[in-house]
Amino acid sequence: MELRRFEHPVFTSNTFVLFEEGSDTAFVVDIGEYNRSRSFLEAFSNIPILFITHAHYDHIYHINEFLIDYPECQVYASSYALECLASPKRNLSFYHDDPVSYKGSAVFSLKGKERIRLTDNTKAEVMATPGHTVGCLSFKIGKYFFTGDSFIPGYKVVTKLKGGNKLLSKDSLTLIKETLTPGMVLCPGHGPIYAESQIAALSAHLEQ
C-alpha cells in the first residue's frame, strides 16, 4: 500500500491516508488534519474505515467535517476512545475553548489483537498500547506501523494527562519494540515518518 502524511500546522498531529495505486478506496488513520488531506481524499470514492489511535483533541479535531463528507465511513477505535469522542471534556477540546463532539453510531469498538482485512493483500493488526491515556491503540497495516502518541521517537511518552499511566506505557513500549522490526515503516502521531532504513536506530529511543 501507498501512504501519505498530512500534518496539522498548529497541533503538529498527523493524519495518514493509506491506499493502493489505481484503487478508489483509501483508509485513514487519525483525523486531526483535514484542510489539506481533504483535497487529496477527493480522489477516492470509498473510504470505509477511519482508525483512531486515541481520542485526544489534536487527533480527532476534524472528525465531524470528515464524516459529513464520508457518511458511510466507520470509526474504529477503543471503547474508551469512542466514549471520549462524545465528551469535549474527556477528549480535552473543552479546555481549548473549541469543543469537539462526535456522537454518531457508525462506530466499531476494538480491544486489541484484532486482525481486520482491508484488501485481498492487506490486513490491519490492532494492538492495545495504553499509557499515554486509556484505550490507546497502535495499528500495523502492511509494512506501516501507526503508534499514535504511544511512541514518538525522541520524546518521552506523555503520561501526565488524565488516564496516563507510566507503568502501562512501559509495557506498551516493550510491545512496540517487539513489533517494530526491520522492513517496517514507523508512523507516529506527531513528527516525520521513519523509513525502513531507520528502524534499527530507533531501538535506543525505546530503551528510554
Q: Which residues does residue 186 pair with via DSSP β-bridges, in sequence order?
A: 145, 194
Phi-psi category of residue 92: left, alpha or beta, with phi > 0 → left and psi -120 to 50 → alpha: left
> Amino acid identity, residue 5?
R
Distance (Å, rounded) from C-alpha 31 to C-alpha 43? 17
Q: Please write the tens of the pLDDT for every residue from 95-136.
A: 888 899 998 889 999 999 999 999 999 999 999 999 999 999
Supply the range of the domain harboring residue 100. 2-206
Domain count, the chain: 1
Query: Tell me: the pLDDT tens digits for 16-63?
Result: 999 999 999 999 999 999 999 999 999 999 999 999 999 999 999 999
pLDDT band for position 208 (cuts 50, 70, 90)? very low
Residue 132, domain CATH: 3.60.15.10
CA dihedral 41, 44, 78, 86 (to 10 degrees): 60
For residue 120, CA distances in Å to 1, 39, 113, 148 come to 11, 27, 20, 26
Q: What is the pLDDT of residues 161-195, one digit of tens each?
A: 988 999 999 999 999 999 998 889 999 999 999 98
